[in-house]
Amino acid sequence: MCPKKRGTLLLLKKNYFMSQNAITIESLEENLKVLARQRAIYSVLFIGAIIFIVVSGVGVANQYNAGSFTRGVENFFDYPADLFSDAFEAGWGWFGIVLSFIPALFETFSAAVFSTVVGASIALILCPLATINLSPNQVTVQIVRRTFDILRSFPELVFALILLYLMGKSIVPAIIAVTLHTIGAMGKLFSEAIENIDMKPVDGLKSVGARWYQIICFAVYPQVLPLVLSYSLLRLEINVRASTILGFVGAGGIGAYLTASLQWRYGDEVLAIMFLLVATITALDYFSSYVRHKLIGKISA
């Protein structure tokens, strides 16, 4: 992760070698001046480009936006204020509303858990085939890797919308879509993790005549298991969000209730669902970072 070299350093090296035949202090200073000027030009260009993108982008956005920017800024607090006043009117009953959405939240959450477990298991089974140091042949490596790439680059939404159209409204299309995306994303991470393992246990098992699947089971998986668990937890968090969004376009769960409440403008219900979502995602965030720190501590120890 940690970067070692920087672009300017490379540039300096190149210029240094070019003028190597006569290194004097003057030539070095000259060189430095040229570099400083180049750098200044680059920074000005970079800042100019950023200002250009922001200004022209905001202009384009303002032109094609349904509402205007200034009015939007003025009205920004209206909607949250509406939500809170609705919830305040509901009084203590609001907590009852929160509780009433817990079954729907559980449905979305368990869909996310299920797709994470299935996706991670399939990715774990496939990823030894996608690593150069373990795969039986190079063609398999390329095929499996490209499959991961394709699965990863399709947003879940595309899969889910098509499946929803084919299978009718239920949570099953969301599960399939999220699982497919999870396979792609996890497959890539796992195969990268496997590429970096210590090969000594593999050689040891090979030397006693172990079969391929035995090598994978006893020399590869034990090394990557903590990483696999921590990635899976991270992925679970992402998948909870994803299945909520897919519920929003028709796949049931808490997302479906959210759409309904938004359309009926029941501010108290909207706020209750938002509260539940934020609470779940934050809790998962803390839980997964706690477990990951423990697991990673285990790896480094």
Q: How far apart are CA 132 and CA 121, in angstroms?
A: 20
Residue among 157 and 210 whose Cβ is closer to another protein: 157
Please state the closest distance from residue 4 (CB atom) to another protein, in A: 7
Closest CA to 224 of 147, 124, 142: 124
Please state the closest distance from residue 178 (CB atom) to another protein, in A: 12
Positive or negative, the Cα torsion across 198, 147, 156, 101? negative
Residue among 36 and 60 whose Cβ is closer to another protein: 60
Please state the closest distance from residue 41 (CB atom) to another protein, in A: 16
Q: How far apart are CA 66 and CA 101, in angstroms?
A: 32
Asked if residues 242 and 181 have their Cβ atoms less than 8 Å apart, the reply is: yes
**H helix intervals, the chain:** 7-18, 25-64, 69-74, 78-90, 93-100, 102-126, 138-153, 156-167, 172-195, 200-207, 212-215, 221-246, 254-264, 267-300
Residue among 43 and 91 whose Cβ is closer to another protein: 43
Residue among 2 and 139 whose Cβ is closer to another protein: 2
Please state the closest distance from residue 104 (CB atom) to another protein, in A: 13
Residue among 23 and 143 whose Cβ is closer to another protein: 143
Q: Which residues bind another protein (CB under 8 A)?
A: 3-7, 9-10, 50, 53-54, 57-58, 60-62, 64-67, 69, 72-73, 75-76, 78-80, 110-111, 114, 117-118, 121, 149-150, 153-158, 161-162, 165-168, 170-172, 175, 196, 241, 244-245, 248-249, 258, 262, 270, 274, 277-278, 281-282, 285
Token digits of residue 156? 């879940």
Token digits of residue 14? 């190149």
Please state the closest distance from residue 281 (CB atom) to another protein, in A: 6
